[in-house]
Amino acid sequence: MSNDLYRFTATEALKRFEDGSLKVSEYATSLLDHIDRHQPTVQAFEYIDRSQVLQQARALDDVPKDKRGPLHGVAIAVKDVIYTKGMPTQHNSPIYKDDQPEVDAASVMMLRAAGALILGKTRTTEFAATVKGPATTNPHDSSRTPGGSSSGSGAAVADFQAPVALGTQTGGSTIRPGSFNGVYAMKPTWASISREGQKVYSLILDTLGLYARSIDDLKLLAEVFGLKDDQPPRALTDGVKGMKFALLRTMVWDQAGLGTRNAMERGAELLKSHGAEVKEIGFPADFDRLPDWHSCILKSDGRTAFRPEYMVAKNKLDRSLVEHVEEAHGYTRKTYLEAFDGVSALRPKWDAIAQEYDAVIVPSVPDEAPGGIESTGSAVFNSMWTALHVPVINIPGFQGEHGMPIGLSLVAPRYHDQALLEVAKVVGEIWESEGGWKSKL
Amino acid sequence: MSNDLYRFTATEALKRFEDGSLKVSEYATSLLDHIDRHQPTVQAFEYIDRSQVLQQARALDDVPKDKRGPLHGVAIAVKDVIYTKGMPTQHNSPIYKDDQPEVDAASVMMLRAAGALILGKTRTTEFAATVKGPATTNPHDSSRTPGGSSSGSGAAVADFQAPVALGTQTGGSTIRPGSFNGVYAMKPTWASISREGQKVYSLILDTLGLYARSIDDLKLLAEVFGLKDDQPPRALTDGVKGMKFALLRTMVWDQAGLGTRNAMERGAELLKSHGAEVKEIGFPADFDRLPDWHSCILKSDGRTAFRPEYMVAKNKLDRSLVEHVEEAHGYTRKTYLEAFDGVSALRPKWDAIAQEYDAVIVPSVPDEAPGGIESTGSAVFNSMWTALHVPVINIPGFQGEHGMPIGLSLVAPRYHDQALLEVAKVVGEIWESEGGWKSKL
């Protein structure tokens, strides 16, 4: 039994810390042993130091009960583009090899203040800005990618190496690994959690992302990070019964493979069979340029973001990022502003559409995780939501032709993060139990 | 003569480093001696270490001529909300007393790569987010404020303690000290220079700011930071002759004092007398809510920005920032989004208005620097431009009732930074020589 401590969700572990039946150091030891066994294959961590973790754990055990924070002892893995005191932050870039800025990102500062145990740093694609996979493999099938750019965070949570983890998303870097690894992943409303201390790719797109194996755990993190809707979310005591969902295939539906096509169909059917209404909707025509606009903003902002590294060591920068800086994309400032202002004008329009429903169901990915770890896959179904700044939660439950997990995303209007978490909880209960996919880990 | 080396602009010093008539270490020594004499009164620096500066200077002198960067030996002072390796970054906050994140902000990384000499850290209001002045005094009259929040950077450049300096602006933190200290100050287009490693107050408002005593020096910095318009700026060989300016008093003109009223009148007259056309314009009615929207965005974003510090040490946070976090302002997310989307919709409208002119002339401040250093003054004439993301340059040349400097700002459409610098150069030549104010420093 004690060998299985690492399998607890954050909520389950917290309960045991609270009732005194589990010490943080015991729990940490179980996690560390499990990580040691799996790291050679999964390679989720870029940096983890056993003695440093145990030292934190013992210090937490010494905190008197009345001084403990809401995340007391909760272990969390941090994507390696987010600053952490006492640990290197290397961005999977040779320019930052062994670099250790002695500063905590805002997110990490809040986590520590809440009593969390910072486990270590998880692997990322270079600066969370390329699709070239790091060494991380998909824990469900090591011949496949775990997705990216938050490769290590998605894999670590799926593989029980951490109950929760931080990722980031500029295109699809949080939601895609969520789907590929079969875990819950949340991209909150843009700028609703401080992104201070998280590597910049595009200011208007970059968003902190959260991973967990349960919605309750995401809610724990959301609470600590201060996510708060205007209206307190209503308690959903009757499942999805009477709820109104929209199903939106999006303008890039032609890129959906069989796995995602089946998942969308099955996901809608299940909700209907539990008493929900599911209405198919389409984007208004003025949303058509959204994917192009995202791409223009991303690449143009990449010029500004990577200019410092370009000036210091152009030869150590991935070719795609050099091209951003050198404006190989050819976008003018005028085109950039059209994209920037165009997306800005769509945001309130989307909110107005989405607020007619409890949530909008959309694809998370084109299909299950592709073979090979060279490429982390496509963000085509995610980038529009990143640009629109809306909260998105990937819910696992479905599977592809090769038995790999596939998730679907729920989307809401901006600053409806708490409400979306409640909806995701009841939807997740259905999809996870009846969607057809079960983790074998 | 050698005592006066510290008086060189960056461009003047560069020329002498290039022709071999001046060593960086000689220049640095002159600056350091001057700073030593004035620091007790002006208190521009929060941190400066003589031996560290001289070590940098000697290392730069050792760089072979063909390996020198475009800012070789140019001394620059950095506002203490911007990370610098080897120096503390304290944000004028007791929470960060003696804190030294070992990381360079993107701006500092580019400056070092270009061969600049990082002098030290300049005083700021707490997190560049309050109007409570630090110990810095106005070098033209020590009983008056240098403005804020970039208090030390504005004062240092005016007082010849540094030829150029970095500031930041979220409301009026770059332009206001520019006007109060009688120097050139530039707020470039939002996000046109990476803000990585610069304390976050509001993502959508925060902008890196630049100080200098000449437009040529601002151009040097702009070049290194990669500011680039779609069209290369045309060379202005005939002064302002034939140019078209707009004069815009703005919706807060009732807050302009005598000094600014006179400056606006005199500034327009001088340009006309040199052959320019100056047309008075007003904002369209839909710009009326801009000041309120800025305030709503600022305070709401402050909740997110300072939540980490609030969780760690609420009692060490300025009351106004505690109020941001506790939402004493009472803004809902709905109101916030109205402000956010409202400002977004105005940006292209402003660009369309401004592109009819070579530049739009607007007030920089309500009046000359007020007495006392407790308050750094009002950002009422700046915050609208920060929200609109447009480039703004303060040009000195006028004076108030007490002989203190007053500047006026030139504004352009977004991503017309290079063009605005060219216009500011010819306008500055006129206003500086005929506006009525001359620095006695």
A226 neighbourhood in chain B, CB within 8 Å: 303-304, 307
B204 neighbourhood in chain A, CB within 8 Å: 191, 204
A236 lies in some domain: no
Interface of B with A in 311-370 (CB under 8 A): 311-312, 332-334, 336-337, 341, 344-345, 347-348, 351
DSSP reduced 3-state for B209:
strand
Report pLDDT digits (tens) over A420-433: 999 999 999 999 99
Mean pLDDT of A290-311: 98
Among all residues of chain B, which has the CA nearest to that of A388?
A: B341
A294 lies in some domain: no
ω into A149 cis (within 30 of 0):
yes
Mean pLDDT of B330-357: 98
Question: What distance, in Å, lies between the first and last C-alpha atoms of chain B?
Answer: 16
Domain of A165 in residue numbering reads as: 2-225
Angstrom CA distances, A25 to A57, A60, A113, A121, stand at: 5, 8, 18, 19
Looking at residue A1, what is its pLDDT? 44
Distance from CA of A409 to the nearest CA of B (A): 23
Among all residues of chain A, which has the CA nearest to that of B331?
A: A230
What is the strand order of the sheet B117-122 is part of?
A: B45-48, B117-122, B75-79, B164-169, B207-212, B184-187, B392-399, B405-411, B359-363, B244-248, B277-281
Q: Considering only A2-11, A130-139, B294-303, which range has the smallest mean pLDDT? A: A2-11
Mean pLDDT of A330-349: 98
Q: Which helix (H) or strand (E) holds A247?
A: strand A244-248
A310 lies in some domain: no
Single out the residue of A69, A73, A66, A68 nearest to residue A30, CA to CA: A73
Q: With an 8 Å Cβ cutoff, are A307 and B199 in contact?
A: no
DSSP reduced 3-state for B42:
helix
Is B438 considered catalytic here?
A: no
C-alpha count within 13 angstroms, C-beta hemisphere, residue B300: 25
Report pLDDT digits (tens) over B1-28: 457 999 999 999 999 999 999 999 999 9
Residue where the block lists tokens 């998370």: A364
Q: With an 8 Å Cβ cutoff, are B307 and A226 in contact?
A: yes
A98 lies in some domain: yes
- Using 50, 70 and 90 to split pLDDT, how confident is the model at A399? very high
Q: With an 8 Å Cβ cutoff, are A307 and B106 in contact?
A: yes
Q: With an 8 Å Cβ cutoff, are B103 and A101 in contact?
A: yes
The answer to whether A86 contacts chain B (CB < 8 Å) is no
Mean pLDDT of B264-288: 98
Looking at residue B85, what is its pLDDT? 98
A121 and A264 fall within a common domain: no
Give me the total of CB pairs closer than 8 Å, taking one residue from chain A and one from chain B: 129
A58 and A144 fall within a common domain: yes
Indicate which of A71, A111, A344 best probes the interface with B, i.e. most B CBs within 10 Å of its own CB.
Answer: A344
CB atoms under 10 Å from CB of B231, counted, come to 12
Query: What values do phi and psi take at A428, rounded to 5?
Result: -60, -40
**Pair of tokens at residue B357:** 């002119």
Residue B152 and residue B261: Cα distance in Å, rounded? 27
Residue A182 and residue A178: Cα distance in Å, rounded? 6
DSSP reduced 3-state for A79:
strand
Residue A121 and residue A141: Cα distance in Å, rounded? 22
Q: Taking 50 as the threshold, does the pLDDT of residue A26 lie above it?
A: yes
Residue A392 and residue A207: Cα distance in Å, rounded? 11
Residue spans of beta strands (DSSP E) within A49-116: 75-79
- Using 50, 70 and 90 to split pLDDT, how confident is the model at A3? confident
Report pLDDT digits (tens) over B114-140: 999 999 999 999 999 999 999 999 999
Mean pLDDT of B371-400: 98
Instruction: Name the β-bridge partners of B371.
Output: B144
B230 neighbourhood in chain A, CB within 8 Å: 332-334
- Using 50, 70 and 90 to split pLDDT, how confident is the model at A339? very high
Single out the residue of A145, A122, A149, A135 nearest to residue A321, CA to CA: A149
Distance from CA of A120 to the nearest CA of B (A): 19
Q: What is the DSSP letter of A278?
A: E
Residue A135 and residue B259: Cα distance in Å, rounded? 64
Q: What is the mean pLDDT of chain A?
A: 97
A283 and A383 fall within a common domain: yes
Residue B335 and residue B338: Cα distance in Å, rounded? 5
The answer to whether A230 contacts chain B (CB < 8 Å) is yes
DSSP reduced 3-state for A34:
helix
Residue B202 and residue B392: Cα distance in Å, rounded? 19
Residue A41 and residue A61: Cα distance in Å, rounded? 31
A212 and A250 fall within a common domain: no
A192 neighbourhood in chain B, CB within 8 Å: 304
In chain A, how long is the greatest CA-to-CA distance? 62
Catalytic residue among B25, B79, B93, B425: B79
Buried b (16+ CB within 10 A) or exposed e, A341-361: bbbbebbbebbebbeebbbbb
Beta strands B184-187 and B392-399, pairing class: antiparallel
The answer to whether A229 contacts chain B (CB < 8 Å) is yes
Report yes or no: A32 and A44 within 8 Å, Cβ to Cβ: no
Residue B304's domain is classified under what CATH number? 3.90.1300.10
Looking at residue B235, what is its pLDDT? 78
Q: Which helix (H) or strand (E) holds A244?
A: strand A244-248
Report percent pLDDT > 90 for chain B. Answer: 98
Q: Which helix (H) or strand (E) holds A107?
A: helix A106-113
Point out the residue among A191, A225, A414 whose CB comes nearest to the CB of B203: A191
Residue B147 and residue B363: Cα distance in Å, rounded? 15
Per the structure, the count of domains in chain A is: 2
A176 and A282 fall within a common domain: no
Q: With an 8 Å Cβ cutoff, are A203 and B200 in contact?
A: no
Catalytic residue among B25, B30, B93, B149: B149
Residue B114 and residue B59: Cα distance in Å, rounded? 14
Looking at residue B1, what is its pLDDT? 44
Indicate which of A98, A196, A301, A321 best probes the interface with B, i.e. most B CBs within 10 Å of its own CB.
Answer: A196
Point out the residue among B230, B305, B337 whose CB comes nearest to the CB of A348: B337
Mean pLDDT of B399-414: 98
Radius of gyration of chain A (CA): 20
Point out the residue among B200, B333, B344 whose CB comes nearest to the CB of A415: B333
Q: With an 8 Å Cβ cutoff, are B414 and A193 in contact?
A: no
- Using 50, 70 and 90 to split pLDDT, how confident is the model at A235? confident
Distance from CA of B121 to the nearest CA of A (A): 18
Looking at residue A2, what is its pLDDT? 52
B337 neighbourhood in chain A, CB within 8 Å: 347-348, 351, 414-415
B166 neighbourhood in chain A, CB within 8 Å: none
Among all residues of chain B, which has the CA nearest to that of A343?
A: B344
The answer to whether A226 contacts chain B (CB < 8 Å) is yes
A167 and A256 fall within a common domain: no
Residue A391 and residue A389: Cα distance in Å, rounded? 7
Single out the residue of B92, B160, B163, B146 nearest to residue B121, CA to CA: B92
Mean pLDDT of B54-74: 98
Q: With an 8 Å Cβ cutoff, are A414 and B333 in contact?
A: yes
A390 neighbourhood in chain B, CB within 8 Å: none
Buried b (16+ CB within 10 A) or exposed e, A162-191: bbbbbbbbbbbbbbbbbbbbbbbbbbbbbb
A300 lies in some domain: no
A252 and A285 fall within a common domain: yes
Where helices occur in A141-274 by DSSP H, the ranges are 151-158, 175-181, 215-225, 258-273
